[in-house]
Copies of this chain bind each other. A is one copy, B any other.
Amino acid sequence: KKIVCLPGDGIGQEIMNSALQVMTVIADKYQLDLVTEEHDFGGAAIDNHGHPLPEATLAACQAADGILLGAIGGPQWEEAEVRPEQGLLALRKALNLYANIRPVTVPTATAHLSPLKPEIVTGADFVVVRELTGGIYFGEPRELNQEDALDTCTYTAAEIRRILRKGFEIAQGRRKLVTSVDKANVLATSKLWRKIAEEVASEFPDVTLEHHLVDSVAMKLIQEPTHFDVIITENLFGDILSDEASVIPGTLGILPSASHGVGGLSLYEPIHGSAPDIAGQNIANPVSMILSMAMMLRESFGWEAPASEVEETCYAVMAEGVLTGDLGGTTSTSEFVEAVIKKIQ
């Protein structure tokens, strides 16, 4: 299996190295045949090639079996003409990565760090399924003038159907509750979304569908996170709600994500950013990158046992109090990785 690694900017390189070290060990143990290849992406690519998504990087991704992404962005590119995020949006579009999957769980080791009360967060375990290549992120026309501006939100029935189907399939392997999120009391795209959600629900008679307005979910996520199983929503709502949901476990440092394309190619990345303020200090939490790698082993290659072992080992190491700074500990990035590797061998 050929894996393209895009470390990106800030802490991207350190956490990518961490995940690859763990991957090498688990590959040895389970005799997995994996080769990796690193490419410039994001701010680093702007500096080296003038573009956040160089052609060579895109070509390598298209030829890969799986993609690991670290994180992109930083203050030095904030005011720039071309920005790192544009590379990410272009990559999502070019690879047709339409389904962004973000599982949110609250491991015992971090529950006390949540801004929410223990009785509210305990047992929360849900997945946010975000449409990633449509909506107002990509709709045309888009206009920016001196005196006015315009963005367009568009969806086709087919785009809505495929993301809903993806979410329903995920729900079938879980508690079988789908929360479809829209703003159908105002938006035309949401009215179409709601109609198609009903249609797709009839294909999955074992799954329960509930409709919720986006403003109401923004409340309920905090009031009662344990209610949710699979939340499915469009691009912009998913951006906001998945970030909101990510505060529930008390740290962004442990949450992985997957973005699935149409042809079976997927990209895996931590949900957190490039944290330029702590880059290069060997203190970043590598867990979300390692768990993203584990997600790839399972979801792209079907290797359930090694994926589970990586995940369980990460949680076990954290439960022993081996914690990076964001979790209130003093363990360094490399020490954490060593602890994980030692347990796996």
A contact residues, range? 35 or more
* A153 contacts B151, C-beta separation under 8 Å: yes
* B148 contacts A156, C-beta separation under 8 Å: yes
Against B, the Cβ 8 Å flags (1 = close, 0 = not) of A287-316 are 000000000000000000000000000000
Q: Which of B85, B117, B188 contacts A144 (CB 8 A)?
A: B188
Q: Contacts A149-B192, A218-B240 given: A186-B154 contact, CB under 8 Å?
A: no
CB proximity of A276 to chain B, nearest CB, Å: 15
A243 within 8 Å of B (CB atoms): yes
Q: Contacts A186-B89, A219-B243, A222-B247 given: A155-B144 contact, CB under 8 Å?
A: no
* A150 contacts B139, C-beta separation under 8 Å: yes
Residue of B nearest to A185 (CB): B85
State the number of copies, please.
2
Residue of B nearest to A221 (CB): B244
Q: Which of B150, B189, B215 contacts A240 (CB 8 A)?
A: B215
* B187 contacts A151, C-beta separation under 8 Å: yes
Q: Contacts A115-B223, A116-B115, A219-B243 given: A192-B152 contact, CB under 8 Å?
A: no
* B147 contacts A150, C-beta separation under 8 Å: no
CB proximity of A182 to chain B, nearest CB, Å: 11
* B154 contacts A149, C-beta separation under 8 Å: yes
Cα–Cα, bound, A247→B158 (Å): 36
Chain B residue numbers with a CB within 8 Å of A224 are 115
* B223 contacts A192, C-beta separation under 8 Å: no
A175 within 8 Å of B (CB atoms): no
* B247 contacts A150, C-beta separation under 8 Å: no
Chain B residue numbers with a CB within 8 Å of A219 are 243-244, 246-247, 252
CB proximity of A322 to chain B, nearest CB, Å: 24
Cα–Cα, bound, A345→B241 (Å): 47
A51 within 8 Å of B (CB atoms): no
A191 within 8 Å of B (CB atoms): yes
A157 within 8 Å of B (CB atoms): yes
Residue of B nearest to A157 (CB): B147
* B155 contacts A148, C-beta separation under 8 Å: yes
Chain B residue numbers with a CB within 8 Å of A152 are 150-153
User: Can you list 16 A-B pairs with a CB-CB distance of less than 8 A?
Assistant: A83-B185, A85-B185, A116-B116, A144-B188, A145-B192, A148-B192, A149-B154, A149-B188, A149-B192, A151-B152, A215-B243, A216-B243, A219-B246, A219-B247, A222-B222, A222-B244
